Homo-oligomer: A and B are copies of this chain.
Amino acid sequence: MIDLEVLRDCYTSTSSKIVMLVVDGLGGLAHPDTGLSELEQANIPNLDAMAGQSACGLTTPVLPGVTPGSGPGHLALFGYDPLKYMIGRGALEALGIEVDLQPGDVAARGNFCTVDSDGALVDRRAGRIPTELSAPLCERMDRIELEGVQVDVFSVQDYRFVLRLRGPGLSEAVSGTDPQVTGVPPLASEAQEPSAEKTAKLVNEFLRQAQKLLAEEERGNMVLLRGFAQLPNLPPMGEVYNLDPVGIAAYPMYRGLATVAGMNVIPTGRTFGDEVETLHKHFDDHDFFFIHYKPADAAGEDGDFEAKVKRLEELDPFIPRIRELNPDVFMVAGDHATPAIMAGHSWHPVPFMVHSKLTLGEGIPAFNERTCAQGSIGRIPATQIMLMALAHAGKLAKFGP
C-alpha cells in the first residue's frame, strides 16, 4: 500500500474540482435465482451511461479476502493505508453519534449490565433496557468527576453508551472490563503499557463511582467498558494533497470519518437529495467533495436483495444532477461490497469509475462488478483512487525529472 505522503512534492493545487461519490456497500454478488448482482439487476441508466464514458475498474478495500469495516473502508478511499491508520471501536462509535472527538481524547463503548449483590454479572446487556430508561442513567453518570480529566457520557441506543475522557496524558492502551461471561464480576481495566497506568486508574475510579450511582437500579445497575480508543493521528488530506476538501454526509459516522481525514464537514439534511443540493450550493467554494450515499449498504446488511436493488435505482437519478455541475473529475466508488446474499460487508473488489476529460470512454456498457473488471483501470487498491482523481484533475505533477 502506498503511503500518501511519499508523493507530497507532486500534489499541486489547481482550480479544478473533484467529486468523490461513495456508495456505501456498493458491490454485491449474484442472486442464485438470476445469476445477476444487485447492480446488474438494477435499472440504473445514468450510472451505466457514465460508465461508458469513464475509465472503469475494481478497487480492493484493504487486501484480497479482507472485509473492511466502515472505518478502514473509507480511510482507504481517502488514500490512507488502512493497515497503518486504524480507528478503534470506541472512537468509531463516538463518531457514529457525532460526539466531538479531539486528538488525545479517549472514547470507549459502554454497556449497561446487571450484577447481583455479590457484584457478579447476571446479564451483560442489562436485559437490553430501552433508551428511555438508559438515557437518564447516562445523564447521571455524566456528572461523575475525575481528577484532571473531563468526563462525558453519551447515550447511544438501548443499553449502549459512549464514555469520553478528555485531558492531558490519556492513553488508549487500557483493557476492557467485559469478561464475556456471566457469573463473575466485571474485570478491572488494566494498563497495557506503563504510560497507560494513569488512564487505567481513572477508568477504574469511574467504574467505582458509576456502580455507586447505579446501585439502586433494577437492571442497569453496573456498566461494562471496552474498545478504548483515541483518534489515529492522520496527516490531514488538505495539507497532504494541497486540496480544500469537504465532506457532505447525512449520517454522523461518515461526517466523523471525513473530519478524521481532515476534511471540513458542510452541514446538510437527512437525505441524499439534501446532500446533492448542499453540493450544488457549495460547489464554487472548494475543490474536493466527498459525498456519501448510505441506503444501499443498509439494505445489503439486511440481506434484502430487492431493497438493495431499489436503493441503487433511487441513487441513479441524482447522477445527472451531480454531472450538471461539470466537475473536472467525478468518481463513483464504494467503501466495500455488501452483498445482500451475505447480509453483511464482504471482501469482494468494488466497482469503480472515474470520469474526466482524459477518459474519453472505453465503451464499458454498464456499471457493475462484471463490466468494471474489463475496464482499463483493472484492479487497484482503494488507497490509490485519490491518485487517479488527482491525476485526472491535473493536480498530480510529474514524479522525478
CB proximity to B under 8 Å, residues A343-363: 344-349, 358, 360
Whole-angstrom CA separation of A7 from B396 in the bound complex? 32
**Central interface residue in A82, A87, A401, by most chain B CB within 10 Å:** A401
Q: How far is the CB of A107 from chain B (nearest CB, A)?
A: 12
Whether a CB of chain B sits under 8 angstroms from the CB of A110 is no
Whole-angstrom CA separation of A345 from B400 in the bound complex? 12
Q: A63-B384, A358-B29, A401-B87 are in contact. Are A349 and B376 (CB under 8 A)?
A: yes
**Central interface residue in A58, A69, A92, by most chain B CB within 10 Å:** A69
Which of B68, B70, B400 sits near A86, CB closer than 8 Å? B400
Are A398 and B349 within 8 A (Cβ)?
Answer: no
Whether a CB of chain B sits under 8 angstroms from the CB of A202 is no
Are A30 and B401 within 8 A (Cβ)?
Answer: no
CB proximity to B under 8 Å, residues A1-51: 2, 6-7, 10, 29-30, 32, 35
CB proximity to B under 8 Å, residues A63-84: 63-72, 82-83
Are B378 and A66 within 8 A (Cβ)?
Answer: no
**Central interface residue in A68, A70, A347, A384, by most chain B CB within 10 Å:** A347
**Central interface residue in A64, A92, A399, by most chain B CB within 10 Å:** A399
Contacts of A319 in B (CB 8 A): none
Q: How far is the CB of A297 from chain B (nearest CB, A)?
A: 13
Q: A369-B376, A373-B378, A380-B64 are in contact. Are A401 and B360 (CB under 8 A)?
A: no
1/0 per residue, CB under 8 A from B, across A82-107: the answer is 11001111001100000000000000
Among the stretches A148-156, A282-290, A385-393, the one at the interface with B is A385-393
CB proximity to B under 8 Å, residues A105-139: none
Contacts of A62 in B (CB 8 A): 399
Whether a CB of chain B sits under 8 angstroms from the CB of A191 is no
- What size tier do the contact residues of chain A reach? 35 or more
Are A391 and B66 within 8 A (Cβ)?
Answer: yes
Whether a CB of chain B sits under 8 angstroms from the CB of A240 is no
Whether a CB of chain B sits under 8 angstroms from the CB of A307 is no
Whether a CB of chain B sits under 8 angstroms from the CB of A315 is no
Q: A64-B380, A64-B387, A83-B6 are in contact. Are A72 and B347 (CB under 8 A)?
A: no
Are A7 and B360 within 8 A (Cβ)?
Answer: no
Are B30 and A387 within 8 A (Cβ)?
Answer: no
Whole-angstrom CA separation of A86 from B400 in the bound complex? 7
Whether a CB of chain B sits under 8 angstroms from the CB of A377 is yes
Contacts of A6 in B (CB 8 A): 83
Are A378 and B349 within 8 A (Cβ)?
Answer: yes
Whole-angstrom CA separation of A380 from B83 in the bound complex? 18
Q: How far is the CB of A393 from chain B (nearest CB, A)?
A: 10
Whether a CB of chain B sits under 8 angstroms from the CB of A342 is yes
Are B342 and A358 within 8 A (Cβ)?
Answer: yes
Whole-angstrom CA separation of A64 from B391 in the bound complex? 9
Nearest 9 CB-CB pairs, A to B? A65-B387, A65-B391, A72-B400, A69-B400, A378-B379, A92-B401, A65-B388, A89-B401, A64-B384
Give me 12 other A-B pairs in contact (C-beta within 8 A), A7-B63, A227-B401, A378-B378 excluded.
A62-B399, A64-B387, A65-B386, A65-B387, A66-B387, A69-B398, A70-B401, A71-B400, A72-B399, A369-B376, A373-B376, A373-B378
Interface positions of A (Cβ within 8 A of B):
2, 6-7, 10, 29-30, 32, 35, 58, 62-72, 82-83, 86-89, 92-93, 227, 342, 344-349, 358, 360, 369-370, 373, 376-380, 384, 386-392, 396-401
